[in-house]
Structure 1
Amino acid sequence: MPDIDKKTVLTRITFLELAERLNYALPVPSGVRLAMMRASDIPLHFYRYLYAQVGKDYNWWSRASLSDEKLAEYVHSDDTEIHVLYVNGSPAGFCELSTKGLPEHVELVYFGLIADFHGRGLSRFFLNEALSAAWLHEPQKIKLQTCSLDSPKALQLYQRMGFSAIGWREEEVPLLNGEA
């Protein structure tokens, strides 16, 4: 497990919500075989792999050093869904949904692609599929947050997909292994 450094960095966290389902007719990216599968009772080592690979360039730290017991409380909760995107049979990314806020909202807690799969036109398709999974719970809205340490394209993607910024705050977050 990575160590959390004592150094911190100031980040801007933006809170977004999507209050209505927008039906996009997004084409499936061509030239690849895609599958998004719900990972029921995901093995913790596989979750840690996905979390580390997707988040390593963006200082994802909050679950990096959790014990297995604490991590299992989150990912094996009845209120949590993990969906994994596979490209040509390889795991390419994941999303995590929290249904704790139902019936008001579902939260997209984590979403992202492994760096090897960036630049292939998959993000918008994958996000649309993640949102479809969230809407299956019939919430009034979908919430998420992103920060200035995430991909510079993340906020733009969320807004293009219909999310509106509803607030923000600045926060000092620990650096993972001294890097941001």
Structure 2
Amino acid sequence: MIPDHPLPLAEGYHAVAPGDLACVVTALEMLAPPAGLKRLVPEGDVPVQLVRWKDCSAAKYRLLYSRVGAQWLWWSRMAKSDEELEGIIRDPAVQLHAVIDRARVEVGMLELDFRVAGECEIAFFGLIPGATGKGLGKWLMRKALQLGWGGEGVRRMWVHTCTLDGPTALPFYMAQGFVPYARYVEIFRDPRLAGILPADCARQQPVISG
């Protein structure tokens, strides 16, 4: 969740403490559903399906979350207790979906958050390594937009990405109709040093422990 009123930074370089990571976060929004959104993609045209996880356990959630996001240092949900995590993903205003292939293996996830009235946040969206580059991202986004705009009273959908994510994430969201509206800098403790994520993940981001 992005704070409502983060403080602006002054111009120039800003030191990041050893053991911390810094990223630039871009928030994007969509204020009306795109044309042709209701047109369904025939299920036989894609080798996966979207399955709602209503009573997912914390352990099951973390496994898929880490398979999708550890390579990009997704960590926030890994740091929560079972009680905190299940309180979110079992909330009636949160929709958690898994992308399942024909072998019944989970290869992606979609989490939609309707807890703010009139809004739908795409909280988590992604595919595991090996499932990308096959057009499944566009299919999954179409599903996300259909579900999001189908929510009661939704007037806005939004999502955010950052410079720790894959380099195609931001242009992908823009190509799907999301418009950037704000930019932030986030600083946090490297989750690999904190033991939240394995020390050898996301090797494209060097660990600087001081």
Please confirm whether the aligned pair reaches a TM-score higher than 0.5, indicating the same fold.
yes
Verify: 1:16 aligned to 2:28, yes or no. yes
> Hey, what does 1:173 align to over in structure 2?
188
TM superposition shift of 1:42: 1.2
1:35-74, CA deviations, whole angstroms, 9 ceiling, x for partnerless residues?
Answer: 1111111122211111101111111111112111111111
* Higher RCO by CA contacts (8 Å cutoff, separation 6 or greater): 1
Aligned-pair distance for 1:116?
A: 2.3
Which segments of 5 or more consecutive residues in structure 1 lack a partner in the other structure? Answer: 1-5
**Take 1:10 and 1:44, find their aligned partners in 2: how far apart are those partners?**
27
- Which residue of 103, 127, 145 maps to 1:113? 127
Gaps of 5+ in 2: 1-17, 194-201, 206-210
Using the size of structure 1 for normalisation, the TM-score is 0.88
Higher percent of residues as strand: 1
Task: Please report how far the alpha carbon of residue 173 of structure 1 lies from its aligned counterpart in structure 2 after TM superposition.
Answer: 2.2
Per-residue deviation at 1:26?
A: 8.0
RMSD between aligned alpha carbons? 2.0
* Corresponding residue of 1:3: none
Aligned counterparts of 1:31 and 1:80: Cα–Cα separation in 2: 28
Deviation at 1:29, TM superposition (A): 9.0
CA contact (8 A) 1:29 1:122 kept: no
Instruction: Report the structure number with the largest CA radius of gyration.
Output: 2
Q: How much identity, in percent, do the aligned residues show? A: 27
Contact 2:99 2:108 survives alignment (8 Å): yes
Residues 17-166 of structure 1 aligned to structure 2 (within 5 Å): 17-22=29-34, 23-24=36-37, 33-88=47-102, 89-103=104-118, 105-137=119-151, 138-166=153-181
Q: Is the 8 A contact 2:57 2:86 kept in 1?
A: no
